[in-house]
């Protein structure tokens, strides 16, 4: 077997985003909430290759907006129904299932979680992300009273989710449970919500990479498409990228050399896949404009894009 063939075999083995233990779950990631936060998060986890399902049916603050005029990229503003259609289409294009069901509760299930909807569907996942501004109640079955605070209003004592419970990157004391919403500040404007969803998505992906064996200096992942003109020469020198990777592995790394080699080759393959030719850019641009036009035409006809229920894996 030649060196290139060996590298390809290593990359194929390392490309799986989940371990054998994770294969027992329906999904890698369940997202509770399909607004700007949840869909933005799903775009990143889906594009990374994590099997992601987004549940979206519940109270939404954005649905209360008459017309959105401050979301970047729409100089004339955009109606909320069209924005939702675009967000859900984008999440699906990234590989997510978008399901129009309300999540009633989240419970522990072995090393992961079982998510049950009001319609009686149950989906299991290694990781769950709460991404609905008013969606903290579904986490009550986890049994951590520190998630909630009590408030006095109109003579009544009410319990609400403590927005300070997750850290700034969305992590919680529960392994595999993240909260992108509700959190302080980040959910007060749609564009900020989308940005925070992306931030928590990168947290999730980094945690996945750590579990795969990537050392801490290599755990972070950037989703960035480049022009292939940036590559020096006709063929990239994999040895240069191997050297870049190896230089970032700490001396006290406890991952065996064979596994590090697999991860390194997979990471190089992933990097190579982000380079686009001029023809690729032109083709993607045409497709993007056509998809955008479909949503605009649907808006002119007064027909919103429905979200189909997608079965679990």
Q: How many domains does the chain have?
A: 1
Give a yes or no: residue 176 inside a domain.
yes
CATH number of the domain residue 87 falls in: 3.50.50.60
Nearest alpha carbon to residue 31 among 104, 103, 112: 103
Where does the pLDDT of residue 16 fall: very low under 50, low under 70, confident under 90, or very high at 90 and above? Answer: low
Q: Provide the pLDDT confidence category of residue 188 given band limits of 50, 70 and 90.
A: confident
Residues 29 and 54: beta-carbon distance below 8 Å: no
Average pLDDT over residues 34-63: 92
Is the pLDDT at 200 greater than 70? The verdict is yes
Q: What is the pLDDT of residue 187?
A: 79
Residue 312 resides in a domain: no
pLDDT of 229: 84
Other Cβ atoms less than 10 A from the Cβ of 298: the count is: 15
- Region 266-287: mean pLDDT is 95
Residue 37 structure tokens: 């936060």
Average pLDDT over the chain reads 87
Indicate the SS3 state at residue 271: helix
Residue 301 lies in a domain: no
Q: What is the pLDDT of residues 163-175, one digit of tens each?
A: 999 999 999 999 9
At residue 20, the pLDDT reads 55
**What pLDDT, on the 0 to 100 scale, is given for residue 133?**
80
Answer yes or no: is pLDDT of 5 > 60.
no
Which range of residues forms the domain containing residue 62? 17-213
* Residue 306 confidence (pLDDT): 41
Burial class, 129, CB count within 10 angstroms (exposed 0-12 / middle 13-18 / buried 19+) = buried
pTM of structure: 0.87
**Is 31 part of a structural domain of the chain?**
yes
- Distance between CA 85 and CA 304 in Å, rounded? 7
Q: Confirm whether 85 is domain-assigned.
A: yes
Domain assignment present for residue 171? The answer is yes
| Contact indicator for 181, 196 with CB cutoff of 8 Å | yes
* Residue 203 φ/ψ, nearest 5 degrees: -65, -45
**For residue 6, is it within any domain?**
no
User: How many angstroms separate the CA atoms of 263 and 249, rounded?
Assistant: 11
CA 37/CA 45 separation, integer angstroms:
13
CA-wise closest residue to 59 among 215, 231, 181, 196:
181
Residue 146 domain-assigned (yes or no): yes
Please choose, from the candidates 211, 212, 213, the residue with its C-alpha nearest in 3D space to the C-alpha of residue 254: 213
pLDDT in tens, 143-158: 999 999 988 777 788 8
């Amino acid at each position: 077997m030649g060196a290139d063939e060996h590298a390809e075999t290593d990359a194929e083995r390392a490309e799986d985003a989940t371990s054998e233990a994770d294969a027992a779950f329906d999904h890698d990631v369940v997202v509770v909430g399909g607004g700007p936060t949840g869909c933005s998060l799903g775009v990143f986890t889906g594009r990374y290759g994590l099997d992601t399902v987004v549940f979206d049916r519940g109270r939404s603050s954005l649905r209360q907006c008459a017309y959105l005029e401050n979301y970047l990229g729409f100089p004339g503003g955009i109606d909320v129904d069209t924005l939702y259609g675009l967000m859900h289409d984008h999440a699906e294009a990234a590989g997510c299932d978008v399901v129009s069901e309300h999540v009633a509760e989240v419970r522990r299930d072995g090393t992961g979680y079982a998510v049950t909807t009001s319609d009686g569907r149950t989906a299991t996942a290694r990781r769950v992300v709460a991404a609905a501004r008013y969606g903290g109640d579904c986490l009550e079955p986890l049994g951590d009273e520190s998630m909630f605070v009590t408030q006095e209003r109109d003579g009544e004592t009410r319990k609400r989710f403590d927005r300070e419970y997750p850290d700034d990157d969305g992590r919680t004391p529960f392994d595999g449970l993240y909260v992108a919403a509700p959190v302080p500040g980040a959910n007060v404007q749609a564009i900020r919500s989308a940005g925070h969803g992306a931030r928590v998505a990168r947290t999730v992906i980094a945690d996945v990479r750590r579990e795969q064996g990537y050392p801490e200096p290599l755990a972070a992942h950037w989703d960035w498409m480049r022009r292939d003109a940036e590559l020096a020469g006709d063929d990239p020198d994999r040895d240069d990228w191997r050297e870049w990777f190896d230089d970032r592995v700490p001396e006290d790394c406890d991952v065996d050399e064979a596994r590090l080699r697999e991860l390194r080759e997979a990471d190089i393959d992933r990097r190579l896949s982000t380079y686009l030719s001029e023809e690729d850019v032109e083709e993607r641009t045409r497709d993007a404009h056509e998809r955008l036009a479909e949503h605009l035409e649907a808006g002119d006809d007064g027909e919103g894009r429905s979200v189909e229920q997608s079965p679990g894996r």
